[in-house]
Amino acid sequence: MATYYELGPFRLDAESEILFRGTVPIPLGQRAVALLRALVACPGVPVSKDDLIAAAWPGISVEESNLTVQIANLRRILSGEPGGDNWIETMQRRGYRYVGPMVVKDSVVRGATGPVQPAPSFELPDKPSIAVLPFANLSGDVDQEYFADGMVEDIITGLSRIKWLFVVARNSSFIYKGKAVGARQVGRELGVRYVLEGSVRKAGTRLRIGAQLVDAETSAHVWAERYDQPLTDIFALQDEITLSVVGAIEPNLRDAEITRVKRKRPDNLDAYDLVLRALPHVYAAMPDEAAKALPLLKKALTLEPDYATAHGFLAWCYEILFVRAGLKKEYRAAALSHARAALTYGRDDATAMAPAAFTIAMVEHDRVTAFEAFEHAVALSPSSALTLFLGACAMGYAGEAERAIDWAQRALRLSPFDRVVYGAYHALAVSHFLRGRYEEAAAAGRRAVRSNPGFSVSHSLLAAPLAKLGRIEEAQAVAKRVLELQPAFSAAGFCAALALPGYLANAITEAWRDAGLPP
């Protein structure tokens, strides 16, 4: 079978580089035909200029004026049919879209025998992979069609910023627009492990958007969410939902990958798998757990010495050991060595930069470098909850209360059930304590304890505001738990290890003393 498109009186073969008017060939050239194919593959949907340039000039950097010239050439050819010069519309700041008549047909190739072959399938890449399908427009409102398509484009762009994730290009995933397909079929045909699908429905003055992430191999739901927002500024709403979706997908995908890797044989793990195996131990943030992560991360670096993410999490492990296991010089040196390696190799990877920046802030106390790295990571990936969690925590300990609260709230809005959500609650507990808002600090401390019960610091940040509130017995009970988890804890050691500003160190040390913690 061969596919071809009937564009009014014109015929465009899927494989040919010539456009036909009836039986008359019209030489367009390789670039123009590639552009026309890209446009008609997504009828009625804006195709970005970047995607069109990639389709016509793959692997080549060209000026946008080249695209403008080729689009003008296509319009000139199509204008041979009344109204044909309007079949390709310019979408301001979006690109172009094909709105002319079109029929997709299959023709039998003469001499072909045997059954029709199924669509080609691809092997899974060596890192998690995802396809974002066009969201279904359930409202029947054409304007919502544009909104949905634009949002999906932005989600694809946002996910593409996650360096450990392989994201299928828009032109490939949009071939399923308007078609009822299952996740398994998409996974097989596009070579992806996960599929994101969703729908948009206008209900009065509100817009309801549903999204779900599906494991293409098992059809199991990894994550699902519904957003119900007032229909006011359409572009601001699109940005807000895109950020929320991408921010929620990243930690859920990583958790799904951790679960998957646990099923693999230990002798069949690559560097990426080894990092995934290490992460639950790193996230626990306690010395005994960090020690379990070290050999896994070191082995990953043996396989890939410039693996920025492995360097970043290894730096974090050594930070944990340094701050809460005796302030040993070798831990400090190793922490900073791997942090600098992560910043060197991972300048385009927020996941690598975040733990590296946190380590530099906590161990070297170079907060200027650390906060610049955090800001760079957020600019790279605004939906990186890990960056916001760790950045908020570092800012809280630096005494930058309002900035820490802002980052913590942004992180919680993106990923309220994240494995490292305690970082945001630490930031809130420290910052509210510093501002004298002890009820708010105690509430944040309790949430930190609930999110990571085995983390001694969470308990210490609850004990301090309880003491300030005069609830001494309760504070003493929490302090007892701190010493059970970390027998060597002392206020002076903690404040010195993190180089807390004097005004914060004095206030929290006094509260800890009242709670019964060693000075």
Backbone angles phi and psi of 175, in degrees to 5: -70, -15
| String of DSSP letters for 481-500 | HHHHH-TT--HHHHHHHHT-
Please, are residues 382 and 410 in contact by the beta-carbon 8 Å criterion? no
Q: Is the pLDDT of residue 121 over 70?
A: no
- Cα–Cα distances in Å, from 3 out to 108, 334, 470? 9, 59, 77
Q: What is the pLDDT of residues 212-228, one digit of tens each?
A: 999 988 888 888 888 88
Give the model confidence (pLDDT) of 17-41 as tens digits. 677 777 677 777 778 888 888 888 7
Q: How sure is the predictor about 118, in pLDDT bands with cuts at 50, 70 and 90?
A: very low
Q: Can you give the pLDDT at residue 80?
A: 80
Q: Across-strand partners of 210? A: 199, 226
Lowest mean pLDDT among 81-90, 139-148, 159-168: 139-148
In terms of pTM, does the model score above 0.85? no
pLDDT of residue 1: 40
Provide the pLDDT for residue 411. Answer: 93
Task: Reply yes or no on whether the pLDDT at 91 is more than 90.
Answer: no
Check whether 115 has a pLDDT greater than 70: no
Q: How far apart are CA 206 and CA 219, in angstroms?
A: 30
Given a contact cutoff of 8 angstroms between Cβ atoms, the answer to whether 253 and 272 are in contact is no
**12 pLDDT above the threshold of 90:** no
Whether 323 shows a pLDDT value over 60: the answer reads yes
Q: Assign 88 to helix, strand or coil.
A: strand
Q: What is the mean pLDDT of the chain?
A: 87
> What are the chain's domains?
2-107 (1.10.10.10), 129-262 (3.40.50.10610), 274-515 (1.25.40.10)
Q: What is the pLDDT of residue 474?
A: 96
- Residues with Cβ within 8 Å of 346's Cβ and at least 6 positions away in sequence, in order, are 163, 308, 309, 311, 312, 352, 353, 356
* Average pLDDT of the segment spanning 388-410: 96
Phi and psi angles of residue 232, each rounded to the nearest 5 degrees, phi first = -110, -100
Instruction: Give whole-number Cα distances, 73 to 26, 33, 172, 289, in Å.
Output: 12, 11, 25, 63
Q: Which has the higher per-residue pLDDT, 106 or 354? A: 354
The kind and range of the H/E element at 195 are strand 194-203
Bridge-based pairing state of the strands 18-21 and 10-13: antiparallel
The answer on pLDDT for 265 being more than 80 is: no
Q: What is the pLDDT of residues 253-263, one digit of tens each?
A: 888 888 888 87
